[in-house]
């Protein structure tokens, strides 16, 4: 693509179309841009378009967004796909982008700044050493639009230092940055502070100046996070004195008006200062000690003078976190130990910041999803309540008796106020429930809820007196905040409360599924799901299916009704509760499925038009999967009913290429096909089969595992049909693509093992030599632990299926004496790396066959390796699995790949169970003993000398035990 005006106009038109609300206009434009992005000069065309002032701002911003996404997709070089960006383009982009970003309008500057930070993640500092110098020299311009652009980029580039694990590479990079950036940043900080005085009466100038100070403080936090840099330690006085001045500054013209809800610059700056001093108090307390008292005083004053408006939430939250950090350090604890100080903190800081405010009530009613995220999903890290709760926990850790005594009196007073006038004083009880929940919960996990408690109240008595009565009231829509609090109490303390209280609450929770409040019915669904998944110490379900059957009609009816309530049409918590209810009820759910399955398929049709809730969609597909499993377990012919209901929807999903759903469809098709058993693949599946081999489907990472799973189901069900349709070569083409990839080679082995296991020998034999050549080529070009493990398992399976002599002959036909080198270089050093019950069994049986059923090993060219191979097999049985890796292991292990990704999510209820191709062999050690016995019969008197000279004393002892256990002997 040349940098011509015609190409710029064409690019501009396609970008315009990507903004169209009409999917028929938008989708082709997006596809076109995806297809041309591999062309040379494409990123430069985008940047030139973004830089053209005569192009409409909307198109320029769209171009900047497209460029950022292009960089995000392609800048990292993928081992399998290769470099999708031409080297000249990479260098040209780095030459252009910093200056272009700095003189662009703010909306474009932000996108390009993000792009710089993405490029920096991969290229900085080694491949982009002059980036910092390019940025620092802009500080001298005095133009704050440019300076703020540099600071935003620096913040974006350096903030990963807050999260990365310590390493020599990280230290080297941070040192490189500090050497070039710490001094200019400090000088800029001082100069900007001076400008606050120079422009004290110029409101517009102060806004720009204070905006710069906010970003400078953020960059300071990132650069100081890993360790205290020497430069900042030497210049701590400059930074801390100015931080203190900023924390106590009262700039009237920057104060927000009463009707503003968002934090102003002053609040943002003071919040960041609190973050910075909390970092120093926590990590560098010895160096920070001289400055601490004045900050404690100032933060205390700030807390008692700041009111309850939401715009101050982040500031108050960070200020409280600073106090919690200080209280947690042993040599500052004396500041808090006096009972009067603790009382003052509780009265003036903690209780006021735990009160349920009008703004919280508005959030509860008008933005229930955000309220839920904060309240039970843990995204409340920046809220007053969470920060006050954290401070309480720190104080109660060291002064539990005093804190419990102080709060106990508050709890009694507030409960009494509620009792006197529930309608007017419900907020008091809400504060009590929040206080009890936060103070009583010392240890908590998502799976088990609270695991430790403190002594503020007796949790069971409190539940019986103050929680369950709220749930037992007839009206489910009265005082919804308190109902939600009460459900949350049961949810959080479910492992601490007696079983009869928890299980006994299920009917009340089912009743509250009909509540109009989205928070209430969501909490009810969440609590039901968490209770149903609870286990007893022996691992069985705490709530038995027989206990759920009586409430099943109302439970299922109410759950599905809830999905018709406003805001909960795609409520993930409700769908997860549906899934868990089906799982708990098992066959007891079948009578309800006639009514419920049409509702599920209708919901699937609806969400497929515009998938927007990944968790809801996941649980919907899980629910369909478990329905198929439950029904087909009792009646395998019922699969036809599911196919009739689901195929039209699946056809639409595949035709419209709904990317989010395609992997799910493949998984459920696998599940449905497996229900047919082996024999014949139904016609609708065979019509689909050639489409599954199309290369375009295999280009998306999220499709690969479900597609392999589906192809395995095809092979397992009807290998003969596939062979008759001349599609075996297509399957082997898929294998060839997968085996060449470091990321997906294990999927190639899964597919190949299915072919070997299920296809007739005469179908596969013409192709097998080429398969072996491909495997050895990959072994020599890119030897990784994962590939070696897959290769050993496959060769072992091949030896079992076709005979060990066939395996040796095949390997040696590629190159003479190659099998001996394979034993020496792969089997002997790496076989102990094999993990997994089925994999280890296949390898053990395969090696046993090589030892005992292979003439070349016993009296042929490899007889000198026989004893060593037996010794290796005994070590495989008796020694621990090896964890060592190979030099090419820069990939993700298959078992380490997260189950839930944006591109692919494994359905637990559609997942294949571990398939054991050698189920006839119960114990591999016995199989070895019996095989050695048969070999000794065939070669009388020859094995004993081999064993006595070739095995160590320990290995002989182990072998003797195997022979004894199998009740056989060497003759």
Radius of gyration of the chain from Cα atoms?
Answer: 34
Q: How many whole angstroms separate alpha carbon 688 and alpha carbon 683?
A: 9
Number of residues written out for the chain: 971
Angle, helix 614-634 to helix 572-585, in steps of 10 degrees: 20
Q: Dihedral of the CA atoms 707, 710, 712, 713 (nearest 10)?
A: 180
Q: What pTM was estimated for this model as a whole? A: 0.82
Per-residue pLDDT at 902? 40
As a whole number, mean pLDDT of residues 33-46 equals: 90
Count other C-beta atoms under 10 Å from residue 928's C-beta.
24
Per-residue pLDDT at 304? 87
Per-residue pLDDT at 258? 65
321 CB contacts (<8 Å, ≥6 apart)?
274, 275, 278, 387, 390, 391
Nearest to 427 by CA among 672, 435, 596: 435
Give the model confidence (pLDDT) of 816-846 as tens digits: 999 999 999 999 999 999 998 999 999 999 9
- Burial classification of residue 3, based on how many CB atoms lie within 10 Å of its CB (0-12 exposed, 13-18 middle, 19 or more buried): exposed
User: How far is CA 341 from each of CA 290, 344, 399, 402, rounded to the nearest angstrom?
Assistant: 22, 5, 12, 11
240 CB contacts (<8 Å, ≥6 apart)?
277, 280, 288, 291
Q: How many whole angstroms separate alpha carbon 55 and alpha carbon 941?
A: 91
Rounded to the nearest 5 percent, the helix, strand and coil shares of the chain are: 75, 0, 25
Per-residue pLDDT at 445? 45
Q: How many whole angstroms separate alpha carbon 305 and alpha carbon 217?
A: 23
Phi and psi at residue 82, to the nearest 5°: 80, -175
- The answer to whether 358 and 351 are in contact (CB under 8 A) is no
Per-residue pLDDT at 901? 39
Range with the largest mean pLDDT of 75-79, 325-329, 489-493: 489-493
As a whole number, mean pLDDT of residues 597-602 equals: 95
Q: What is the 3-state secondary structure (H, E, C) of 547-610?
A: HHHHHHHHHHHHHHHHCCCCCCCCCHHHHHHHHHHHHHHHHHHHHHHHHHHHHHHHHHHHHHHC
pLDDT over threshold 70, residue 551: yes
Per-residue pLDDT at 868? 95
Q: What is the DSSP letter of 453?
A: E
Q: How many whole angstroms separate alpha carbon 253 and alpha carbon 265?
A: 11
Percent of the chain with pLDDT over 70: 95
pLDDT over threshold 60, residue 938: yes
Q: Which helix (H) or strand (E) holds 358?
A: helix 358-366
- The answer to whether 634 and 590 are in contact (CB under 8 A) is yes
User: How far is CA 785 from each of CA 740, 742, 752, rounded to the nearest angstrom?
Assistant: 14, 10, 18
Provide the pLDDT confidence category of residue 466 given band limits of 50, 70 and 90: very high
Per-residue pLDDT at 894? 39
Give the model confidence (pLDDT) of 213-265 as tens digits: 999 999 999 999 999 999 999 999 999 999 999 999 888 777 777 666 778 88
Per-residue pLDDT at 899? 36
As a whole number, mean pLDDT of residues 962-969 equals: 92
pLDDT over threshold 80, residue 685: yes
Q: How many whole angstroms separate alpha carbon 71 and alpha carbon 73?
A: 5
Output the six-digit token pair for 618.
């996941």
Among left, alpha and beta (phi > 0; psi -120 to 50; other), residue 679 is left
- The answer to whether 53 and 9 are in contact (CB under 8 A) is no
Percent of the chain with pLDDT over 90: 58
Provide the pLDDT confidence category of residue 891 given band limits of 50, 70 and 90: very low
Nearest to 706 by CA among 680, 673, 677: 673
Q: How many whole angstroms separate alpha carbon 506 and alpha carbon 509?
A: 5
Per-residue pLDDT at 442? 55
Least confident of 395-409, 787-801, 860-874: 395-409
Least confident of 354-368, 716-730, 867-881: 716-730
Angle, alpha carbons 141-142-143 (nearest 5°): 85
Q: What is the 3-state secondary structure (H, E, C) of 701-736?
A: HHHHHHHHHHHHHHHHHHHHHHHHCCCHHHHHHHHH
Q: How many whole angstroms separate alpha carbon 265 and alpha carbon 262?
A: 10
Q: Which helix (H) or strand (E) holds 87?
A: helix 87-102
Q: What is the DSSP letter of 165?
A: P
Provide the pLDDT confidence category of residue 678 given band limits of 50, 70 and 90: low
Per-residue pLDDT at 453? 56
Give the model confidence (pLDDT) of 95-108 as tens digits: 999 889 888 888 99
Give the model confidence (pLDDT) of 480-532 as tens digits: 999 999 999 999 999 999 999 999 999 999 999 999 999 999 999 999 999 99
- Could you write out the DSSP letters of every residue in 169-185? HHHHHHHHHHHHHHHHH
pLDDT over threshold 60, residue 904: no
Provide the pLDDT confidence category of residue 312 given band limits of 50, 70 and 90: confident
As a whole number, mean pLDDT of residues 520-548 equals: 93
Residue listed under structure tokens 């599924």: 513
Per-residue pLDDT at 60? 94
Give the model confidence (pLDDT) of 116-133 as tens digits: 989 988 998 889 988 999
Count other C-beta atoms under 10 Å from residue 69's C-beta.
16
Provide the pLDDT confidence category of residue 886 given band limits of 50, 70 and 90: low
- Burial classification of residue 24, based on how many CB atoms lie within 10 Å of its CB (0-12 exposed, 13-18 middle, 19 or more buried): exposed
**Preceding omega of 125 cis (within 30 degrees of 0):** yes
Measured over the CA atoms of residue 46, residue 51, residue 55 and residue 58, the dihedral's sign is: positive
Per-residue pLDDT at 79? 66
Provide the pLDDT confidence category of residue 900 given band limits of 50, 70 and 90: very low
Coil, strand or helix at 444: strand
Output the six-digit token pair for 130.
């002059």
669 CB contacts (<8 Å, ≥6 apart)?
650, 685, 688, 710, 713
Q: Which helix (H) or strand (E) holds 945?
A: helix 943-950
Per-residue pLDDT at 81? 65
250 vs 624, residue with greater confidence: 624
- The answer to whether 221 and 279 are in contact (CB under 8 A) is yes
Provide the pLDDT confidence category of residue 451 given band limits of 50, 70 and 90: very low
Average pLDDT, the chain: 89
Phi and psi at residue 377, to the nearest 5°: -100, -5
Q: How many whole angstroms separate alpha carbon 482 and alpha carbon 429?
A: 8
Per-residue pLDDT at 819? 95
Angle, helix 313-327 to helix 384-420, in steps of 10 degrees: 100
pLDDT over threshold 70, residue 897: no
As a whole number, mean pLDDT of residues 127-146 equals: 88
Give 441's Cβ-side CA count (13 Å radius). Answer: 24
Q: How many whole angstroms separate alpha carbon 574 and alpha carbon 585?
A: 16
Buried b (16+ CB within 10 A) or exposed e, 367-382: ebbebbebbbeeebeb
- Could you write out the DSSP letters of every residue in 849-915? HHHHS-HHHHHSTTGGGHHHHHHHHHHHHHSPPP----TT--S--GGGS-SB-SS-B--GGGPPPPP
- The answer to whether 414 and 428 are in contact (CB under 8 A) is yes
- The answer to whether 103 and 143 are in contact (CB under 8 A) is no
Give the model confidence (pLDDT) of 8-21 as tens digits: 999 999 999 999 88
């Amino acid at each position: 693509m040349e940098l011509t005006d015609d190409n710029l106009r064409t690019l501009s038109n396609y970008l315009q179309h990507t903004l169209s609300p009409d999917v028929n206009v938008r989708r082709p434009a997006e596809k076109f841009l995806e297809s041309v992005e591999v062309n040379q000069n494409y990123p430069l065309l985008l940047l030139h378009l973004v830089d053209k002032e005569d192009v409409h701002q909307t198109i320029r911003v769209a171009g900047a967004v497209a460029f950022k996404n292009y960089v995000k997709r392609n800048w990292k070089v993928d081992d399998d796909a290769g470099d999708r960006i031409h080297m000249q383009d990479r260098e040209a982009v780095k030459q252009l982008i910093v200056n272009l970003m700095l003189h662009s309008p703010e909306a474009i500057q932000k996108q390009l700044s993000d792009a710089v930070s993405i490029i920096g993640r991969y290229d900085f500092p080694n491949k982009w050493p002059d980036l910092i110098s390019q940025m620092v020299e802009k500080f001298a311009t005095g133009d704050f639009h440019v300076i703020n652009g540099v600071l935003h980029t620096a913040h974006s580039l350096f903030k990963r230092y807050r999260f990365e694990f310590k390493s020599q590479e990280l230290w080297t990079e941070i040192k490189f940055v500090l050497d070039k950036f710490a001094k200019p940043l400090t000088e800029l900080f001082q100069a900007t502070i001076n400008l606050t005085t120079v422009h004290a009466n110029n409101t517009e100038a102060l806004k720009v100046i204070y905006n710069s100070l906010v970003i400078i403080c953020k960059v300071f936090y990132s650069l100081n996070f890993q360790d205290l840099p020497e430069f900042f330690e030497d210049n701590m006085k400059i930074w801390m004195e100015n931080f203190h001045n900023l924390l106590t500054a009262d700039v009237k013209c920057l104060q927000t008006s009463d009707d503003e809800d968002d934090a102003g610059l002053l609040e943002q700056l003071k919040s960041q200062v609190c973050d910075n001093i909390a970092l120093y108090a926590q990590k560098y307390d010895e160096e920070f000690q001289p400055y601490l008292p004045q900050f404690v005083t100032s933060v205390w004053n700030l807390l008692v003078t700041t009111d309850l408006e939401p715009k101050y939430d982040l500031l108050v939250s960070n200020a409280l976190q600073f106090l919690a950090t200080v209280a947690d350090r042993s040599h500052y604890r004396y500041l808090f130990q006096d009972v009067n100080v603790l009382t003052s903190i509780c009265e003036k800081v903690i209780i006021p910041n735990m009160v349920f405010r009008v703004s919280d009530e508005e959030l509860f009613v008008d933005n229930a999803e955000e309220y839920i995220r904060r309240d039970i999903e843990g995204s409340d890290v920046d809220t007053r309540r969470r920060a006050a709760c954290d401070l309480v926990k720190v104080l109660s850790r060291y002064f539990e008796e005093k804190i419990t005594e102080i709060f106990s009196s508050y709890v009694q007073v507030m409960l009494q106020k509620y009792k006197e006038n529930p309608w007017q004083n419900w907020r008091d009880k809400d504060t009590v429930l929040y206080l009890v929940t936060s103070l009583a919960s010392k240890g908590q996990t998502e799976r088990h809820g609270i695991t430790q408690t403190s002594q503020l109240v007796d949790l069971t008595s409190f539940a019986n007196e103050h929680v369950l009565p709220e749930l037992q009231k007839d009206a489910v829509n009265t005082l919804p905040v308190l109902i939600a609090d009460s459900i949350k109490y049961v949810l959080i303390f479910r492992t601490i409360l007696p079983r009869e209280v928890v299980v006994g609450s299920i009917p009340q929770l089912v009743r509250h599924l009909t509540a109009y409040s989205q928070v209430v019915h969501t909490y009810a669904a969440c609590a039901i799901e968490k209770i149903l998944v609870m286990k007893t110490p022996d691992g069985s379900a705490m709530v038995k299916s027989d206990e759920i059957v009586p409430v099943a009609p109302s439970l299922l009816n109410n759950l599905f009704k809830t999905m018709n309530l406003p805001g909960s049409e795609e409520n993930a918590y409700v769908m997860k509760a549906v899934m868990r209810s089906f799982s708990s009820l098992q066959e007891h759910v079948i009578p309800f499925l006639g009514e419920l399955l049409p509702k599920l398929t209708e919901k699937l049709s609806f969400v497929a038009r515009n998938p927007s809730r990944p968790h809801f969609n996941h649980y919907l597909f899980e629910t369909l999967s478990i329905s198929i499993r439950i029904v087909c377990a009792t009646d395998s012919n019922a699969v036809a009913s599911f196919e009739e209901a689901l195929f039209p929807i699946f056809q639409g999903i595949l035709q419209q290429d709904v990317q989010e759903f395609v992997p799910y469809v493949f998984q459920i098709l696998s599940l449905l096909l497996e229900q047919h058993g082996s024999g014949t693949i139904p016609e609708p599946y065979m019509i689909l089969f050639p489409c599954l081999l199309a290369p375009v489907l295999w280009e998306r990472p999220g499709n690969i595992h479900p597609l392999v799973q589906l192809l395995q189901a095809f092979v397992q069900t009807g290998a003969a049909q596939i062979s008759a349709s001349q599609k075996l070569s297509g399957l082997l083409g898929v294998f060839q693509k997968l085996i060449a990839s470091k990321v997906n080679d294990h999927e190639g082995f899964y597919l190949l093992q299915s072919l070997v296991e299920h296809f007739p020998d005469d179908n596969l034999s013409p192709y097998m030599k080429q398969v072996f050549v491909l495997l050895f080529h990959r072994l020599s070009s890119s030897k990784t632990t994962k590939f070696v493990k897959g290769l050993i398992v496959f060769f072992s399976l091949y030896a079992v299926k076709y005979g060990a002599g066939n395996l040796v002959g095949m390997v040696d036909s590629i190159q003479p004496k190659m099998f001996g080198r394979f034993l020496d270089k792969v089997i002997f050093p790496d076989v102990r790396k094999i993990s997994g019950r089925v994999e280890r069994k296949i390898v053990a049986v395969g090696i046993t066959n090589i030892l005992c059923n292979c003439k070349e090993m016993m009296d042929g060219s490899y007889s000198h390796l026989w004893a060593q191979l037996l010794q290796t097999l005994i070590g495989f049985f008796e020694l621990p699995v090896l964890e060592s890796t190979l030099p090419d292991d820069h990939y993700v292990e298959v078992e380490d790949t997260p189950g839930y990704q944006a591109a692919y999510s494994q359905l637990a209820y559609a997942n294949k169970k571990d398939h054991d191709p050698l189920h006839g062999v119960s114990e591999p050690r016995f199989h070895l003993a019996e095989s050695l016995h048969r070999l000794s019969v065939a070669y009388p008197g020859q094995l004993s000398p081999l064993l006595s000279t070739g095995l160590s004393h320990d290995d002989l002892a182990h072998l003797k035990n195997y022979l004894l256990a199998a009740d056989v002997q060497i003759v």
